[in-house]
Structure 1
Amino acid sequence: MEIRVAQPDDAPGVVALRAIVHPYQVRGVESTRKMLAEPPPEMGWTAFVAEVDGQVVGWVSAQCSTWTSTPNFGEVSNLHVHPEHRRRGIGTALLTAATEHLRPLDIRRVRTMALPDGLPFARRHGYGPSREVRYSALELDALPPLPEPPPGVRLLPIVDLDPRLLYAADVAAAADEPGDEPVDSISYENWRYDVWDNLGLDKSASTTAEVDGEVVAFSLVKRDGDRMWSDFTGTIPAYRGRGLARLAKTAALHRAAASGVRVAYTSNDEANGPMLAVNTRLGYRPVASQWTCLADLTAPARSDDGE
């Protein structure tokens, strides 16, 4: 078993591993390859793989969290190990590599995600569960009909949109999203990398609701073949309570279905009642859950397990 820094040519193996461990997550080979070849700017991002006999059997990424004003906050993301290679120390080795990458970046507080059966592993390494996140799926062959938009509201794909208009709406809509830390410090450069220039973003399906040229609600679609991820659906505060998020998301799903998408996935904090209600009305069904987990890097962690 070898733990090493991930390389662009690892992308097919990483995507294949993700399909086994987290089949409800959507990120294709080319967008993964680009992320490995051109990491996010100003985020101290890196990733590690575990390799056994030339096969990628483990993966983790780590970065500074630049979308929050909370200082010294970092992320250990997507730690997963192939089921046939667990209990051999691979998870511990990957987590150690990610943690040691963050320490010189002055990170003091770290968030990661864990499946329910991975919580004992997280606790043994100093991570305490914080918030439950629901993953849901929707088959697009039975979508509800698309209602007519209210007077003055236009539903438009983002393909010809000035990205700064979408950025402004994204920042406003995300500011009060439930989570461990506020999403209140999104630079345009990092947003553009993560959202607008993401190779998986389907700009023909992603939809905005616009009023007098202002983006007031939106639903973003990231796609890999016939699978899609509802990346973020939101409404700016002044226009909430009018059903515009559901309208934009319904339109985005219809556009995605018309272009060959078969199934849509999304995730929501269990405290996000309004968005969970939107997804329920659209027909989404829960398929998995994870927990956000937090750790203090200044505290020692136990490592007496065999993950």
Structure 2
Amino acid sequence: MRIRVAKPDDAPGVVALRTIVYPYQVRGVESTRKMLAEPPPEEGWTAFVAEVDTQVVGWVSAECTGSTSTPDFGDISLLHVHPEHRRRGIGSALLTAATDHLAPLGVRRLRAFAQPDALPFARRHGYEPSRELRFSALDLNPAPALPDPPPGVRLLPITELAPRRLYAADVAAALDEPSDVPVDSISYESWLYDVWDNLGLDKEASTAVEVDGEVAAFSLVKRDGDRMWSDYTGSLPAYRGRGLARLAKTVALHRAAANGVRVAYTSNDESNGPMLAINTRLGYRPVAAEWSCLADLT
């Protein structure tokens, strides 16, 4: 076994591994390849793989978190090991590689995510559970019933929006998103990379809701084949309580289903009651749980 920096040609193996461990996480080979070839603009982003006999059996990525004003905060994301290669020290080696990468960059507080059966591993390495996330799935055969938009409401694919308009709406909607740290420092360059220029973004299915010429709500779809990820559904504070986020998500699901998507996945913080209620009404069912876990880097 060896730990090394991930490279673009690892993309097929990385996606195959993720499909086994996290079948509810949707990211295709080409978008993964691009991420490895052209890393995100956040300072210090990197990824490591664990390799056994040329097979990718483990993955982790690490970055200084650029979406928050909280100083010295870093994320260790999607640390996972193939089930047949666990309990051999691979997970610990990947975590050490990620931590050693972030320490010289000034990170002092770390967040990682763990499935419930991995919480003992997290605690052994100094991480304490913080927030629970629910992952849910929706069979799109058939898609949820499509309501008529209220008077004065316009539905449009995001192809009809200038990117900066959607960026401004995304930033405003995310300010009170439940999280361990505030999501209040998303740069336009980072947003372009992660959202608008992401090869998986389905801009025809992703839907915005306009009210009086203003973007009031939106629902973004990232796709890999016949699977999709509801990347983010939000509404601006001034327009909440009017059903616009649910309307945007319902339309996005319909458009995705009409173009061949068969199952939709999403995740929500367990404290996000309004979004969980929307997903329940749409027919989503829980399929997995994860915990965010926090640790000090000393």
Q: Report the TM-score range of the alignment, normalised by the length of the smaller protein.
A: over 0.9
| Aligned residue number for residue 265 of structure 1 | 265
CA distance in 1, matches of 2:87, 2:32: 27
TM-score (norm 1): 0.96
The reply on whether 1:280 has 2:280 as its aligned counterpart is: yes
Deviation of 1:159 after TM superposition, in Å, equals 1.3
| Aligned residue number for residue 7 of structure 1 | 7
| Aligned residue number for residue 303 of structure 1 | none
Contact 1:45 1:64 (8 Å CA) reproduced: yes
Deviation of 1:174 after TM superposition, in Å, equals 0.3
| Aligned residue number for residue 210 of structure 1 | 210
Instruction: Name stretches of at least 5 consecutive residues in structure 2 with no aligned partner.
Output: none
CA distance in 2, matches of 1:265, 1:295: 28
Where do residues 134-283 of structure 1 align in structure 2 (5 Å cutoff)?
A: 134-283=134-283
CA distance in 1, matches of 2:289, 2:42: 30
The reply on whether 1:65 has 2:65 as its aligned counterpart is: yes
SS at match of 2:43: coil
Instruction: Name stretches of at least 5 consecutive residues in structure 1 with no aligned partner.
Output: 299-307
The reply on whether 1:103 has 2:106 as its aligned counterpart is: no
Q: Report the residue type matching 2:120 in the other structure.
A: P
SS at match of 1:271: coil
Matched positions, count: 298
The reply on whether 1:24 has 2:24 as its aligned counterpart is: yes
State the Cα RMSD in Å: 0.6
Q: Report the residue type matching 2:274 in the other structure.
A: P
Structure 1 segments of 4 or more deviating over 4 A?
none
Deviation of 1:41 after TM superposition, in Å, equals 1.1
Deviation of 1:143 after TM superposition, in Å, equals 2.5
Deviation of 1:211 after TM superposition, in Å, equals 1.6
Q: Report the residue type matching 2:195 in the other structure.
A: V
Contact 2:144 2:254 (8 Å CA) reproduced: no
Deviations 1:266-292 (A, max 9, x none): 000000000000000000000000000
SS at match of 2:141: helix
| Aligned residue number for residue 302 of structure 1 | none
More deviation in 26-35 or 209-218?
A: 209-218
Contact 1:246 1:278 (8 Å CA) reproduced: yes
Indicate the percent of aligned positions where both proteins have the same amino acid.
81
Q: Report the residue type matching 2:39 in the other structure.
A: P
Contact 2:42 2:65 (8 Å CA) reproduced: no
CA distance in 2, matches of 1:251, 1:200: 18
SS at match of 1:151: coil
Contact 2:42 2:63 (8 Å CA) reproduced: no
Deviation of 1:101 after TM superposition, in Å, equals 0.4
SS at match of 1:107: coil
CA distance in 2, matches of 1:118, 1:198: 30
Deviation of 1:46 after TM superposition, in Å, equals 0.1
Deviation of 1:127 after TM superposition, in Å, equals 0.4
Contact 1:217 1:236 (8 Å CA) reproduced: yes
Deviation of 1:179 after TM superposition, in Å, equals 0.9
The reply on whether 1:35 has 2:35 as its aligned counterpart is: yes
| Aligned residue number for residue 114 of structure 2 | 114
Deviation of 1:173 after TM superposition, in Å, equals 0.4
Deviations 1:48-74 (A, max 9, x none): 000000100000000010100000000
CA distance in 1, matches of 2:75, 2:144: 37
Deviation of 1:29 after TM superposition, in Å, equals 0.1
CA distance in 2, matches of 1:122, 1:99: 13
Contact 2:155 2:248 (8 Å CA) reproduced: yes
| Aligned residue number for residue 294 of structure 2 | 294
| Aligned residue number for residue 78 of structure 1 | 78
Deviation of 1:44 after TM superposition, in Å, equals 1.1
CA distance in 2, matches of 1:29, 1:248: 28
Q: Report the residue type matching 1:144 in the other structure.
A: P
Q: Report the residue type matching 1:141 in the other structure.
A: N
Q: Report the residue type matching 1:247 in the other structure.
A: L
CA distance in 1, matches of 2:274, 2:252: 18
